[in-house]
Amino acid sequence: MKREDLQGKQILASNEKYYIADHGIREAVFGGNMRDINLILENIVYLELLRRGYAVTVGRSGEKEIDFVCDKRGEKLYVQVAYLLASQETVAREFGAYDSIRDNFPKYVVSLDEFDMSRNGIKHRNIRDFLLAKEWN
């Protein structure tokens, strides 16, 4: 997946991310998907974004990375994925990724946490609820 510079509005040529289509194959080759649960959750969200027709890139804003910058017919959506928001450092990192993005498109932090930690207009969703939502806005 390509990386997009969100400040300069260009596609970066290096450091692409790769996602797989079958976690069973990954489990068979590497064993123990739980040790890379963050990557697995990102992969699941990425595949759902593609299934819903979004063009998806990885965003970079300064030193911060946005997991997914999604575009469908000019409507953008930003998504950060984390296993659990178990520490203040993780919360600050995941929500802080949006600090320099000044547009009004929806911004999400998705995790396995069951309680809503939304803040500053950034929506926090449990991954199950996020994936099953009819639309994201």
Class of domain 3-132: alpha beta
Sorted by where each begins, the domain ranges of the chain are 3-132
Q: 22 phi and psi, to 5 degrees? A: -135, 110
- Poorest-pLDDT segment among 31-45, 46-60, 87-101: 31-45
Q: 23 phi and psi, to 5 degrees? A: -70, -25
pTM for this predicted structure = 0.82
CA angle 122, 110, 38 (to 5 degrees): 140
Higher pLDDT, 44 or 15: 44
pLDDT digits (tens, 9 = 90+) for 68-126: 999 999 999 999 999 999 999 999 999 999 999 999 999 999 999 999 999 999 999 99
